[in-house]
Chain A
Amino acid sequence: MTERSVPADAAPAVAAGRIIVDGRPVVFQAGDSVAMAILRGGEVPGRGGTLCLAGDCGNCLAEVDGTAYVRTCQTAARPGLRVERHPDGAMPELPVVAAMDLTATPLPATVEVHHVEVDVVVLGGGSSGRAAAAEAQRAGRSVLVLDAGAGEEIVAVYAGPLVVVRTLTGMLHVHAHEIVVATGAAEIHPVCPGNRLAGIVTARAAERLQAAGVDLGRIVSVGSPPAGVPVTSVDGRLVRFDGEGGRVRAVVTADTTGAETSMPADTVAVGLGLTPRDLLARMAGAVPVRVVGEAAADLPFPPVPTEGVVCGCMGTTVADLADAWDRGFTELELLKRASQACLGTCQGGACLPNVRSWIAARTGELPDPFTARPASRQITLAEAAADSYVDAFRRTPLHDEHLAAGARMDRFGGWWRPWHYGDTVAEYWAVREGVSIGDVSTLGKLVVSGPDVVELLERLYPCHVADIKPGRSRYALLLNERGHVMDDGMILRETETRFVLSFTSGGAANAEMWVRDWIDTWGLRVHVLDRTMSLAAINVTGPLARTLMTRAGLADPPRFLGHVHADVAGIPCHVMRLSFTGEAAFELHHPVDRSVELWRALLELGHDLGIQPHGLQALFGLRLEKGHVIVGMDTELDTTPRRLGMDWAVRMEKPRFIGRGSLERTAKLPDHRRWLGFTMPGPAPTEGSPIWSDGEVVGNVTGSWTSPLLGKALMLGWLRRTSFPDRVEIDGREAVVTPTPFYDPEGHRARA
């Protein structure tokens, strides 16, 4: 045992301010970390366990200014900073997400990201890092040294190479040609009974505390003593820490004969050796990095732990390791998952050497360390999301009109769309009995033109195209080579060599690529122009739609499936006579910069007709009554026309079209799936509800609607069994398989 004397110049006692710890003010001094300030006040920053004060362990984690899991030893104290220590033996509570408006655009990220490009980035500002930086500078290369001690916490190393860093002012993304890992070595943490008591520090931590003038009381040292710190050193093997009230009171060691000695202590400084701090090197994976200094050193492993907590973050004991091992998890990656050791906030920084040593004792071989993955540090969602954006959702030119009309907007098919305007049923009745307008600007719109355009479309679509006359249109499915439904829409012929194709809102982008790819593949002379975002579209629908069109100046409206170019309310429109709602409908495609003008004119002209806009919710109900499919919502990836009951849309007498071969081959095979209609009394069940038969789930509902007109629940959905029952159970009620359309099966109203 050796006594050391207290250096006379140990404590520069100049108060720099106060932080608030668990509601109480704590004085800190210039240069203090939060952990240092708390220790200076005679308390511990975490809830026990060996403190390294080097950012390697999770024993000083606390909530700092509202952010949990902050390493207080790496956080500079500043006046007014609020610290809440995590609950004893428990994870901090996750913040409760308040009622969020999921229909709103997420706020843009508020964490700044700075980008830096350098030749060499050195991770670590110690002696080996400084040496590597100097060497690179002598070679004329630009160098950036990142030092956790300066508040630069390296969060991740990615291909690129890209190093992501959390700094005091935000996130830093370093784009470098070479990465040098010079992160040094971490101190080995003791594993033995009592190692979760407060008052245990590593030797280096004791040195830092001494240098900062923190009073540690009576210090007893085990293993290599801290330099320049007055300690009582004890020899022998560390057996356990004894404590009282959660704080260490003595350390027990044993000599070679097993005789134990207990040494009273206020603080125990543990010097068990070093282990390479190589987490970032292991994170680099395929990214080439150069590891220098202690981070690359071949250092001796700690003694085999036999008892105590091995992973302080997760509370995993040596007994837990043994239990997992006995259950067959005898490989580091498996043992980690089964026991949770190394899965905590320090990512094995403190416990991995001990776990590897424990495995080596059982197998005779030291296992390789596991791969490290970002993030190396706890970061906030805002920090993780910094410099990234949510997908952009498009707005139609009528977006503000919808908002002004009280619409609840929602995202659908890559667009913001009005879900309803406050009263879906009223919107429904406006369509069924009067006149209504809907914003269908989101539909895909492609112009195709050229001498080979008919050949192209005959090959693309399973329906006939050549016999569509200019001014006429036809509904069409779009199939892939496997005969599966990709999309649907209209083919509208304008001239002998020019067509307009429409697609679903969500499928338009894929459809465009599909069309372009096949033009290239077949070498056809066809030009393509995507007008989806250049043209808006308003659907005027209802039994009074024709009246409104006449008022708007459309003297000679096209008949069903016809289309004309004409002015409507003084605005040039491509007027298409279609129907998705089951009522007469005119789809008005027009330039986006005239859309608000047209929308307002139609509302004005239809005011005395009781006109009102309808949202998607009403539209879905209207289409459901007609049994119209919505590709992507009702369909699956392998849906065929036959499964949809839409064989009529496929002309197998055509010699060639995409998907024909697959359809021909599968036509003779029994089909196990059908998309069918169902009805039952009462309110509609939730979309997605399972469909039951004889106690088994035999399908699911893809669309449901309580029909105001028919007074019952209507559903569309899949049945997946060879023997298709007539009656099924949905939502605990008996439902009847019912032919579609449920409404106006002859289609008289749409053609009116």
Chain B
Amino acid sequence: MRALERLRGLRVVADPVALDAARWHGDDVTVLRIAPDDAFAIGAEGVDVDDPDAIVESEAGFVGAWLPVSALLAHIEWPLPTDRPALAQGSVANVPAKLWLPAEDGDGLLLTAASYADDLTSRLR
């Protein structure tokens, strides 16, 4: 499989409504909504979010790779979402992971915490 590479961006935890309206700074930003109040914006360099208590942190704790989704099916025991775009979260080969499925058909972005990178890579090899 393709090597997992470090993903950099911003991690923002904020009021969901404020997060919905957030303006992200940076080129080619991909916003993964991990939870209603939690977003990982890959490629973001800044954010305007209307929440004085928002937690905004640089994030380098994830690694990922774009892969054909079919290559992962044998390692997933849960149904993939049919809507696009979608962020699926669960175990891939029994490793906590996320799968970003963009609007257009094609590869998906497999993400996991960097601390799981070796385990996930060896299991998908």
**Using a CB–CB distance below 8 Å, which chain A residues touch chain B?**
105, 108, 113, 115, 387-397, 399, 415, 447, 449-451, 497-498, 525, 527-529, 531, 533-535, 591-593
| A115 and B114 contact, CB distance less than 8 A | no
- A471→B54 CA distance, assembly (Å): 20
- Given A534-B11, A591-B60: A527 touches B53 (CB 8 Å cut-off): yes
A397: chain B residues within 8 A (beta carbon): 114-115
B45 at the interface (CB under 8 A from A): no
**Using a CB–CB distance below 8 Å, which chain B residues touch chain A?**
6, 8, 11, 13-14, 37-38, 53-55, 57-61, 74, 93-96, 113-120, 122-123, 125
- Given A389-B123, A391-B94, A591-B60: A396 touches B115 (CB 8 Å cut-off): yes
| B115 and A447 contact, CB distance less than 8 A | no
- Given A115-B74, A529-B38: A534 touches B60 (CB 8 Å cut-off): yes
- A105→B117 CA distance, assembly (Å): 14
- A533→B120 CA distance, assembly (Å): 15
| B58 and A394 contact, CB distance less than 8 A | no
- Given A395-B118, A451-B53: A592 touches B94 (CB 8 Å cut-off): no
Return A582 CB to nearest CB of chain B, in Å: 29
* Those 6 A-B pairs whose CB atoms lie nearest each other, nearest first: A534-B61, A394-B115, A389-B94, A593-B60, A533-B113, A392-B119
For this complex, 6 residue pairs linking A to B, each with C-beta atoms less than 8 Å apart, are A105-B122, A447-B55, A527-B54, A533-B61, A533-B113, A592-B61
- A214→B19 CA distance, assembly (Å): 79
- A282→B40 CA distance, assembly (Å): 50
Residue of B nearest to A450 (CB): B53
Partner of B114, one of A108, A387, A390, A592: A592
| A497 and B93 contact, CB distance less than 8 A | no
Residue of A nearest to B96 (CB): A392
Given contacts A389-B123, A527-B54, A534-B11, 17 further A-B contacts (CB under 8 A): A108-B123, A108-B125, A115-B74, A389-B94, A389-B95, A392-B116, A392-B120, A394-B113, A415-B115, A447-B57, A449-B54, A527-B14, A527-B53, A529-B11, A534-B61, A591-B58, A592-B60
A527: chain B residues within 8 A (beta carbon): 13-14, 37, 53-55
Residue of A nearest to B77 (CB): A387
Residue of A nearest to B124 (CB): A108
Return B41 CB to nearest CB of chain A, in Å: 14
- A229→B8 CA distance, assembly (Å): 77
- Given A113-B74, A593-B6: A497 touches B115 (CB 8 Å cut-off): no
B116: chain A residues within 8 A (beta carbon): 392, 394-395
Select the residue from A451, A498, A593 with max chain B CB neighbours within 10 A: A593
| B54 and A388 contact, CB distance less than 8 A | no
| A392 and B95 contact, CB distance less than 8 A | yes
A390: chain B residues within 8 A (beta carbon): 94
Return B87 CB to nearest CB of chain A, in Å: 17
Residue of B nearest to A531 (CB): B57
A525: chain B residues within 8 A (beta carbon): 53
- A397→B120 CA distance, assembly (Å): 15
A529: chain B residues within 8 A (beta carbon): 11, 13, 38, 55, 57
Residue of B nearest to A572 (CB): B58
- A390→B93 CA distance, assembly (Å): 9
Return A82 CB to nearest CB of chain B, in Å: 30
Residue of A nearest to B122 (CB): A108
Select the residue from B37, B57, B61, B122 with max chain A CB neighbours within 10 A: B61
A591: chain B residues within 8 A (beta carbon): 58, 60
Return A83 CB to nearest CB of chain B, in Å: 33
A388: chain B residues within 8 A (beta carbon): 94
Return A492 CB to nearest CB of chain B, in Å: 14
A395: chain B residues within 8 A (beta carbon): 115-119
- Given A591-B60, A592-B60: A449 touches B119 (CB 8 Å cut-off): no
- A105→B59 CA distance, assembly (Å): 28
- A388→B113 CA distance, assembly (Å): 20
- Given A449-B53, A449-B55: A389 touches B74 (CB 8 Å cut-off): no
